Structures are given as C-alpha cells and as structure tokens.
Structure 1
Amino acid sequence: MKILLYFESQKLLEKSGIGRAFTHQKKALESVNVQYTTKNSDMNYDILHINTYGLNSYRMVRQAKKRNKKVIYHAHSTEEDFRNSFIGSNLLAPFYKKHLVRLYNSADQLITPTPYSKKVIENYGIKNPIKVLSNGVSLEKFQQSKTKEQKFREYFSLKPEQKVIISVGLYFERKGILDFVKVAESFPEYTFIWFGHTPLYSVPAKVRQVVRGNHPKNVIFSGYIKGDILEGAYTNADLFFFPSYEETEGIVVLEALASRQNVLLRAIPVYNEWLKDKENCYMGTTNEAFVSLIERIMTGKLPDLRENGYQTAVEKSIPKIGEQLKEIYEEVLER
C-alpha cells in the first residue's frame, strides 16, 4: 500500500492549520510504516490523499480517477470557517461552498477532524462516506523544556514575575483576534501575546488597524514564529486563551493541551464531543465571561485542569492517529 499525499500551494498554506495537518499526516504514516510519497509525478500509488482545494487539486482527483485510483479527501474546510477571514470572504462563501461540495463529492472517502465538521458537511447534502479522525498532536514536541522556555522569555524580554496569556492563529476576525485585544484591556498587569501572521493587505481594515497599533500596550503581535520560542510559550505561559468563533478542530488547542497549559476557549459546537467546560478546559461565550474567568484562573481561584487537558491530547497523539489512518486506507482499498 502506497499513499500519494497531495498538498497544493504548500508555501502559501504551510503556516495554516491545514499545513500543520499535512505535517502530522506524514508523521502518522511514518509511525505505522505506511509508505507514502508527496511527489505529484509519482504515479505508483494506491490512494490519493488530498488536503487542498485549488484547481490543481481538482486536476489531481480527475487524474487519479482516470487511473482507477482511490481518492480520499481530507475535509479540513467548510463554508462556515471560510467566513470572516479575508477581505470579501463573506461574499465569496456561497461560491466556495459549491466548490467544496464538488470536490468532496469526487472522493471515495472523506476524512474530517471532528463530529461537528462531519455534521456540517453532511448538511451540504454530501452522501459519500465520512470518517472522523483528529488531525492529531505531537506530544513529545510540547513537553516542558527549560531551554525553550528561556528562549521564549528572552525573545520577548519578559521579567521573571511577568504573567503571560497567549493565543495562536491567523489574523482573522473569526479567530477572535478582536476579542483577544478587547479582553486584554481589562488586564494591563498581564502581557497578551498573539502568535501568527496573515498579510495585512488581505484582511479587513478593523483587523489591520488593531494589528498595526490600535491595541493596548500590553498586547504583542509577534508575527509567525515556530520552533523553540513558540513551544516554550505554550508551556511557560500562564494561560492559552483562544476565543475563536468557528473551527473544524483547532490544532492549536490540541497543542496547548499537549503542553499541559491552562486553556480558555469560546464555547462553540466543534468542541462538544471532546472538550468539556470545567473538566479539561474552561469556556466562555462573551468578553465579560472571559474577563471573569481569566481573573479567577490567573489568581488560582479555579481548579487546575492542565493534567485533564493533557490526557485529552494523549488520546489524539500522532501514533494513535497513524493507526486509525492506516485502518481507513485498508478499508477504502478493500471496498
């Protein structure tokens, strides 16, 4: 069994959640010794496992079908999580949905990260079989490291006693970036750091203005940072605060859980099946609720849920995802 993992526009998308998911797929297949290639020219494969949505992606599907190859589409995206992102995304969203439906209908099997995203896709009228499989998380990458934590604090010139609240995501209104900044106004004593980047010309003016400087002094937009500094931030910060309005899973949430970090999220349907308020994370729905929760989490007035959150991440570790992915491949080939 050999898999062609296809990822169109890799340089453009490598900083996104889809880019992370693609990396996780490769690691997952390596963990269970499933042979794969990422070379489009390699026609010696059994299954095309495709992650992206461009015109070349559709051509790859058509080419695979002509060769009687099986096609698995990884349904990372929906109309719902396309909205409130780039300039004009809400106007384009209905057309994007039609494009997604066309692509998803072309597959022999769909994989999507959560029961929630499966329900969304089924509501599009798609009848193809859909498996739920988390994007997974690399546990070893997010273990506590004094060296990484020191790099993080030195990079941002943080004092030893300085408390830090972080978030990770693109500069999208959907990600809750405006709420993150608004909540930070209530806590001038804490440093709020948003990791991630999107070209500012592509986002609406209200987001662009906030990132460029219309934010409190205690907020830092770090830009795109990966590796030791980000991993040190995950384990060393005092709280991961992610007020996103829509996700198909939220890989950054998995990374925070794997880091044994305190996690505060917006209560949205995508988390219903695997995260529970006051058990493995905390959840709120309004900025007022977030302010109240942050005050109590940061001062130790609420129970510490970090170990519970870590155990949730363990269930979605890369090797476990690899085993399930291998089973899906075998089932599709047998079918």
Structure 2
Amino acid sequence: MRILLYTKNESVYSKSGIGRAMKHQVRALSAAGVDFTQNQHDDYDIVHINTVDPSSLTMIQSAKRNHKKVVIHAHSTEEDFKNSFIFSNQIAPLFKMHLVHTYKKGDMILTPTPYSKGLIESYGITKPIVAVSNGIDLDAYKKDEVKIQAFRKYFNLSETDKVVMSVGLYFERKGIHDFIEIARHFPHVKFIWFGYTSPSATTSKVKRAIKEKPDNVILPGYIAGDIIKGAYQSADLFFFPSYEETEGIVVLEALASKIQVLVRDIGVYEGWLENNKNCYMETKNEMFILKIRELLNHDCKDTIKAGYEVAKSRSIEEIGQQLKEIYERVMGL
C-alpha cells in the first residue's frame, strides 16, 4: 500500500493551517512507517488530497481514471470561509457548492474534528467521513531557552514585560479586531499577533482596527522558526478569539508549548477542550478582559498540564497510526 500525498502548490498554503497540516502528514506517515510519495508520477494506491483548487480536481480525475482510491481531507467549510476576507460572505454559497462537488469525489473524507464532520454531513454528503486531528509535533514545541531568548531579543522585551500572543491571518472571523480592542484595557501589556493578510483582502472592520490600534499591539507579520516558537514558550498567555475553526492548529501548538490558553467558547472545541480544566473559555469581550486580568495576575488555577495532555493525545505519532488504519480501511472499500 503506497500513499500519494498530493502537495502540489504547497508553497501557496505554507502560511496557513492547511500548509502546516500537509507538513504534519509527512511526519505522521514517516513515524507510522507508511509507504508514501509526494511525486505524482510515482505509482500509488491511494491519493490523499488536502486542497480544493483546480490542480487537486485534476489529480482526483486522474486517480479515478486509473482506478485509484481517493481520500480528501476536508479542511474547509462554508462556515469558516465566511467572515474571512472582503466579499467572502457573498462568495460563500458558491464556495460551498464547490466544496460539495469536490468532497463527493472522495472514497473517504477526513476532517479535523467531530464539529467539522457534522458540518460536512449537513451538506448532504453521504461518503464515509472520519474525524482525525491535524496533529502536533510535540518535539518541535519543547521548551528551548535559545528560542525564548531569540523571541525576547527580537521584540526587545525586558524580564518583566508581560506578553499576550495570538497567531492567525488578518481574517475577521479570527477575531483580530477583538484582540486589538481588548488590548486597550492593558496598556502595560504587549499584545503580539503573528500573521498577515494583504490589506487589499481584509474587511473594513479589520482595516479600521489595525489603523487605530493602540501602541501596545504589535503586528510583526508572518514569522516562522525559533522566534514564534520562543513566543509560544515565553508569553504569559495565548489568546485566540476566533469565531470559527475546523480545529485550530495554533491552539494545538500553544497546548504543546505549555502556555496558558484562552479561547472563544465555540462549537469546534466541544469534546476536547474544557473550560477551567485544560484551558479557559469566554464569549464576549468584557468577559475576556476580566479573564485576562485574572490570568495575568495568577488568580486562576493553572490548566497548562491538562492542556499538554490534550496535545499528547493528538501527537504526530498518534495521528500517523490513525491515518494508517484509515488507509487500510479505504483499500477495502
């Protein structure tokens, strides 16, 4: 059994969750001893598709012509397409039609969470759908003093500076406007949002929030490697106010980094994140403000250890074994 991990145009997605999911799959299959290739010209039994762009549709059609099995990883939904960039809400119904058209071509559909599985089932798709996490490389987020110092030096942080961080594109649904607004209530705390989206694609609400941001909000753009890993390990709080996700790889990265986590209480976390146990959850800005103040003052119990256990249950090694079992099941369809 050989798997073709179809990663053409991977560079286009490298700064998104889908791009990181592709990299995780390479490591997961390697860890599980699964025979795979990323060369579409090699022989294979199953092609694993992660995107819904034209090249992926062409690959699916080629696989079908050659009587190969097709696994489609459903990272996208209409719900997480909405409220992202300019005109995304107007385009969303057409995007949903495209998703349904593409997903129906799979012999099996994978998606990161039971929540996203439920959404895809609601589209009327009857192909087998399995929820399997994108996974997290625990070793990559182990505490490393060199990375911590690289982060603090890059942002010229003193030993006493408190930091609240987040990671994501400048999408409205990510809640970056709320992140900026909440930062106003903590003028002596650094609020750092890693990520970037071209101003030409951002909504007016996000544009206005960025233009009027207070001085304690730092927007360094997309930064990879030691600096962002050092941020995860050094910051006082990971605050992710996203309104919609299919999983949220950055949340797994935070949990693996053993940082305190605060997220918005939304459906995607049901069944794996629990308020006051392995993270903290709120819904409205005024409640976020109160909770951040408590967390920065250490007036809440520490949920870091329990949060790390969640990350361990979604380790690359665990996901590799799950994918191996799924491929074996697909071969029998």
Fold in common (TM above 0.5): yes
Q: What SS does the corresponding residue of 1:246 show, helix, strand or coil?
A: coil
CA distance in 2 between counterparts of 1:205 and 1:132 reads: 35
Aligned: 1:319 with 2:317: yes
Partner of 2:20: 20
Separation in 2 of the partners of 1:8 and 1:39?
9
Question: What value does the CA root-mean-square deviation take over the aligned residues?
Answer: 0.9
State how far apart, in whole Å, the 2-side matches of 1:9 and 1:85 are: 22
- Corresponding letter in the other structure for 1:198: T
Q: How far apart in 1 are the matches of 2:332 and 2:205?
A: 51
- Using the TM superposition, give the Cα deviation of residue 210 of structure 1 relative to its aligned residue in structure 2, in angstroms: 3.1
Deviation at 1:198, TM superposition (A): 1.4
Amino acid at match of 2:306: N
Which residue in 2 is equivalent to 1:177?
Answer: 176
What is residue 116 of structure 2 aligned with on the other side?
117
1:34 is aligned with what amino acid? Answer: V
- Deviation, 1:229, is 0.4
In the aligned structure 1, how far is the partner of 2:29 from the partner of 2:294?
42
Q: Letter of the aligned partner of 2:123 in structure 1?
A: Y
Summarize the alignment of residues 288-307 of structure 1 with structure 2, pairs less than 5 Å apart. 288-307=286-305
Q: Is the 8 A contact 1:168 1:194 kept in 2?
A: yes
Displacement, 1:86? Answer: 1.8
| SS of residue matched to 2:239 | strand
1:241 partner SS: strand
Structure 1 unaligned spans of 5+: none
Within-5 A mapping of 1:1-335: 1-42=1-42, 44-211=43-210, 213-335=211-333
Q: How far off its partner does 1:149 sit?
A: 0.3
Give the match's secondary structure for 1:201. coil
Whether the aligned pair in 2 keeps the contact of 1:8 and 1:54 (CA below 8 Å) is: no
Secondary structure of 1:324 counterpart: helix
CA positional deviation for 1:53:
0.8
Unpaired runs of at least 5, structure 2 = none
- Cα deviation 1:149-192 (Å, max 9, x = unaligned): 00000000011100000000001010000000010000001000
C-alpha displacement of 1:214:
1.7
CA distance in 2, matches of 1:274, 1:193: 26
- What SS does the corresponding residue of 1:200 show, helix, strand or coil? coil
> Which whole-Å CA distance do the structure 1 matches of 2:258 and 2:201 have between them?
34
Distance 1:58 1:145 in 2: 42
Q: For 1:193-245, what per-residue CA distance to the aligned partner results, in whole angstroms no more than 9, with x for missing partners? A: 0001112211123323433x420000000100011000000010000000000
Contact 1:137-1:258 at 8 Å conserved across structures: yes
Structure-1 separation of matches of 2:84 and 2:298: 35
Cα distance in 2 for residues equivalent to 1:219 and 1:293: 19
After TM superposition, give the deviation of residue 9 of structure 1 in Å.
2.7
Q: 1 CA distance for matches of 2:104 and 2:295?
A: 45
The CA distance in 2 between the partners of 1:183 and 1:158, in whole Å, is 21
Deviation at 1:8, TM superposition (A): 4.1
How far apart in 2 are the matches of 1:53 and 1:7? 12
AA aligned opposite 2:301:
P
Tell me the TM-score normalized by structure 2.
0.99
Give the partner amino acid of 2:185: S
Over the matched positions of the two proteins, sequence identity in percent amounts to 53
**C-alpha separation between the residues in 2 aligned to 1:49 and 1:6?**
6
